[in-house]
Amino acid sequence: MTATTRPTAHQEDSQSMATTADPASNGRRGAPAPRRALPLVEPDAGLLERAVYVDEDVYNDELERVFARAWLYLGHDSQIPEPGDYMTTFMGEDPVILVRGSDGQVRAFLNACRHRGMRVCRAEEGNTSFFRCPYHAWTYATDGSLRGVPKFREAYEGTMAKNDWGLVQVAKIESRYGLLFGTWDEHAPSLGDYLGGFAVYLDLIFGRAKGGLEVIGGAHKWTIETNWKHPAENFACDMYHVESAHQRPAELGLMEPLELGGYEISAGLGYVGHQHNRALSSDGVDDGMPISAYWAMPNPYTYVLHEQRAAMALELGEQLARMIPLGHATIFPNFSLLDTESFRLIRVVHPLAPGRAMVYQWCIVESDLDPEVRDAVRKQYILAFGPAGLLEQDDGENWRECQNGMSGTIGRRVSTNMGLGLGQDTTATELLGTEAPGAGGGIWSEANQRQFYRHWRAFMESDSWATLRPRLSDVSF
Helix (H, G, I), strand (E, B) or coil at 458: helix
Residues 215, 217, 222, CA angle at the centre, nearest 5°? 100
The burial of 123, by beta-carbon neighbours within 10 Å (0-12 exposed, 13-18 middle, 19 or more buried), is given as exposed
- Cis status, amide bond into 351, omega within 30 of 0: no
**449 and 413 co-located in one domain:** yes
Res. 344: pLDDT tops 50: yes
Per-residue pLDDT band for 18 (boundaries 50, 70, 90) equals very low
Instruction: Let me know if residue 10 belongs to a domain.
Output: no
Strand-pair category, 41-42 with 139-141: unpaired
**430 and 377 co-located in one domain:** yes
Report the pLDDT value the prediction gives residue 387, as an integer from 0 to 100: 76
Report the pLDDT value the prediction gives residue 6, as an integer from 0 to 100: 44
Rounded to whole angstroms, the Cα distance separating 50 from 54 reads 7
pTM: 0.90
Range scoring the smallest mean pLDDT among 67-81, 335-349, 382-396, 454-468: 382-396
The burial of 303, by beta-carbon neighbours within 10 Å (0-12 exposed, 13-18 middle, 19 or more buried), is given as middle
pLDDT in tens, 144-158: 999 999 999 999 988
Give the neighbor-by-neighbor strand order of the sheet with 213-224. 213-224, 356-366, 344-353, 335-339, 327-331, 270-275, 262-267, 439-441, 426-427
Instruction: Let me know if residue 261 belongs to a domain.
Output: yes
Residues 6+ apart with CB under 8 A from 468: 69, 458, 459, 462
Question: Could you write out the DSSP letters of every residue in 242-298?
Answer: HHHHTHHHHHTTSBPPP-S-EEEEEETTEEEEEE--PBP-TT---SS-PPB-SB-S-
Rounded to whole angstroms, the Cα distance separating 83 from 127 reads 8
**280 and 167 co-located in one domain:** no
More confident: 123 or 309:
123
Range scoring the smallest mean pLDDT among 268-282, 330-344, 434-448: 268-282
What's the first-to-final CA gap in the chain, in angstroms? 50
Instruction: Let me know if residue 59 belongs to a domain.
Output: no
Q: Which domain holds residue 356?
A: 191-475
Report the pLDDT value the prediction gives residue 24, as an integer from 0 to 100: 42
Q: Specify which residues 279 forms β-bridges with.
A: 292
**147 and 267 co-located in one domain:** no
**C-beta separation of 209 from 366 below 8 A:** yes
More confident: 176 or 305:
176
Q: Quote the DSSP letter at residue 79.
A: G
**Domain final residue pick, 129, 158, 187:** 187
Instruction: Let me know if residue 117 belongs to a domain.
Output: yes
pLDDT in tens, 371-426: 999 999 999 999 888 877 878 778 878 889 999 999 999 999 999 999 999 999 99
**Domain final residue pick, 168, 187, 206:** 187
Report the pLDDT value the prediction gives residue 205, as an integer from 0 to 100: 95
- Provide the phi-psi class of 5: left if phi over 0, else alpha when psi is between -120 and 50, else beta: beta
* Residue 136's CATH number: 2.102.10.10
> In 10 A of CB 173, how many CB atoms?
18
Per-residue pLDDT band for 12 (boundaries 50, 70, 90) equals very low
Report the pLDDT value the prediction gives residue 437, as an integer from 0 to 100: 96
Which residue, among 183, 106, 192, has the nearest Cα to 142 in the 3D structure?
106
**85 and 137 co-located in one domain:** yes
**C-beta separation of 115 from 99 below 8 A:** no
Alpha helices in 111-237 (DSSP H): 191-195, 198-202, 229-235
Question: Could you write out the DSSP letters of every residue in 129-163?
Answer: SEEE-TTT--EEETTS-EEE-TTIIIIITTT--GG
More confident: 81 or 298:
81
**268 and 332 co-located in one domain:** yes
Res. 5: pLDDT tops 70: no
**119 and 234 co-located in one domain:** no
Report the pLDDT value the prediction gives residue 2, as an integer from 0 to 100: 37
Res. 465: pLDDT tops 90: yes
Helix (H, G, I), strand (E, B) or coil at 353: strand
Instruction: Let me know if residue 39 belongs to a domain.
Output: no
pLDDT, mean over the chain? 87
Tell how far CA 220 is from the center of its chain: 15
Range scoring the smallest mean pLDDT among 160-169, 311-320, 328-337: 311-320
**C-beta separation of 364 from 76 below 8 A:** yes
**Domain final residue pick, 187, 210, 242:** 187
Q: How many CA atoms lie within 13 A of 80 on its CB side?
A: 31
Mean pLDDT of all residues in 263-284: 75
* Residue 277's CATH number: 3.90.380.10
Phi, psi (rounded to 5 degrees) for 127: -135, 135
Rounded to whole angstroms, the Cα distance separating 169 from 287 reads 50
Instruction: Let me know if residue 465 belongs to a domain.
Output: yes
Number of domains in the chain: 2
Amino acid letter for position 122 = R
**367 and 304 co-located in one domain:** yes
**438 and 366 co-located in one domain:** yes
**339 and 417 co-located in one domain:** yes
Amino acid letter for position 40 = L
Residues 214, 216, 219, CA angle at the centre, nearest 5°? 115
**151 and 164 co-located in one domain:** yes
Instruction: Let me know if residue 147 belongs to a domain.
Output: yes
**269 and 141 co-located in one domain:** no
Q: How many residues does the chain have?
A: 477
Res. 289: pLDDT tops 60: no
Report the pLDDT value the prediction gives residue 140, as an integer from 0 to 100: 98
Instruction: Let me know if residue 30 belongs to a domain.
Output: no
Report the share of the chain in percent with pLDDT over 90. 68
Range scoring the smallest mean pLDDT among 67-76, 84-93, 313-322, 349-358: 313-322
